[in-house]
Structure 1
Amino acid sequence: MTDGTKQFLQELAEEIGDHPEKKSVMEEYEVHIAELIQDESIQEDKVYEQLLIRIGTPEEIAGMWKQESSITPRKTQWLFVLLNSALFIGGGILTISYNVLHWDWIELLWEALTNISIIIMLIYILFWGLLGYEIGREFGHRGRKLLRKTFIISVIPNFILMYLIIFKFIPHEWFQPLLNVPFMVACIVLTAFLYPVSWLGYRWGRKASV
């Protein structure tokens, strides 16, 4: 560890003060600084100056971290769980309305959505990428377990819907013209990619947090 790195981390530790999560924050920045020095080939005598330029002063970092630490992991977890559940509930209401009520405007909406099903799937993938990004940005290395737990809870409605459709608890004709082999394969592949997409978002958000 260079003298510049030691000085920077010492000042950062003083700014953070006595906080229960101080150790994990310091470890996170120590790893990030080491990666930055290695990737950018920063000269040893210019490390401290470059750190101030590239990631900010210890005062600024401590201030941002204290502000972000007010956002609790539980709130973030349930926010995304509820958002994902809301998507399924909204889709369920639309499906039932289309097959039971037969209102003209619902039929027009259903037709429009089925025609852009691929776009909707891409937006859904972006939703899971955003999930990982926000957890990585808000909690850094501390968010790894939170990401896995949030993903497992959030993906439950996906598997329940697949189970109900595969075993015909929900009539297949309700999902026409979507329910065909290519679409089902696309759904399976999409579900398999959700966690990798979330993980990539988490990695990106983690880098943005420091």
Structure 2
Amino acid sequence: MERPKNRFLEQLAKGLGIQLDKEEILREYASHIDEILMESDCQDEETVFDLIVSRLGSPEEIAQVWREEFSVTPSNMKWVFIFLNVLFFGGGSLLTLAHNIFQWEWLSVLWNHLTSIPTLIAFLYMFFWALLGYEIGKGFGHNGRVLLRKTFLLSLVPNLLLMVLTVFQIIPHSWFAPLLTKTFIIACIIFTIILYPVSWIGYRWGRKASI
């Protein structure tokens, strides 16, 4: 049943026109069509073609979606995630500063509670990066790869800045007690290294969801 598949892909290729990721888009839809063909026992080519269209949409509709997607300006989404990351670090920095300057009981209780669950906070932060990748993948598809890379690099600046300030003791280590242990520092480095793979997995997942 290659004819319905080829017919669908030819129409889709024509509708896509000249796109940077045209071949990759076609490969992805080809894999989806292969899955549909494996599930179907029908031998009538027209029926099979109609089945593909009913599952994926017509080539014209798909091409229109991709044309609109490639025309979207990604700037706003990039700065939203950068702002959220800065907000995360800014909030944490203000909390740390306030805890070490003011002797407020409620603040000490909050600080002690947060420092008792560093692993949970780290995984929540990783979820944030996975969500970043997912939203970029879902919203921009193949066109989101460059956006993901730029957003990641810009968002990583506060992370690296805090790491440098802490390592060179510009920020006193005592401020982060009882967190700042050798194990915790190593864990932070490992988490930082795997942030991009996590966001990339989220991006791939989101891109599939956009199809």
- TM-score, normalised on structure 2? 0.84
What is aligned with 1:138? 139
Residue aligning to 2:50: 49
Partners of 1:5 and 1:24 lie apart in 2 by 22
Match of 2:31 in 1: 35
Indicate the residue corresponding to 1:113 in structure 2.
114
2-side partners of 1:100 and 1:63: how far apart?
57
Which structure 2 segments of 5+ residues have no match? Answer: none
* 1:102 matched to 2:103: yes
Alignment of 1:1-210 (within 5 A): 2-5=2-5, 7-8=7-8, 23-24=19-20, 27-39=23-35, 41-42=37-38, 45=45, 47-58=48-59, 61=62, 71-210=72-211
List runs of 5+ in structure 1 lacking aligned partners. none
Question: What is the DSSP-based 3-state SS (H/G/I as helix, E as strand, rest coil) of the residue aligned with 2:33?
Answer: helix
- Off by >6 Å, runs of 4+ in structure 1: 13-16
One-letter amino acid of the structure 1 residue matched with residue 152 of structure 2: F
CA shift at 1:9, angstroms? 5.0
Comparing 158-167 with 71-80, greater Cα deviation is found at: 71-80
Q: Distance in 2 between matches of 1:3 and 1:24?
A: 26
Query: How many residue pairs end up in the alignment?
Result: 206
Query: Contact 2:135/2:206 (CA < 8 Å) preserved in 1?
Result: yes
Aligned-residue offset at 1:116:
1.1
Aligned AA (2:49): Y
Q: CA separation of 1:62/1:117 partners in 2, compared to 1, >3 Å: closer, same or farther? A: same
**How far did 1:37 drift?**
3.2
When the two structures are superposed, what TM-score results if normalisation uses the length of structure 1? 0.84
Change (3 A) 1:23 1:65: closer
Deviations 1:26-76 (A, max 9, x none): 545412212223455547836523422332345654675577667521111
Deviates most, 61-70 or 43-52: 61-70
Q: Deviations over 1:69-99 (max 9, x none)?
A: 6752111111110110000000011001100
User: Secondary structure at the residue paired with 1:155?
Assistant: helix
SS at structure 2 position matched to 1:179: coil
Shift of 1:102: 1.5
Identity in percent: 47
Q: Is the 8 A contact 2:36 2:52 kept in 1?
A: no
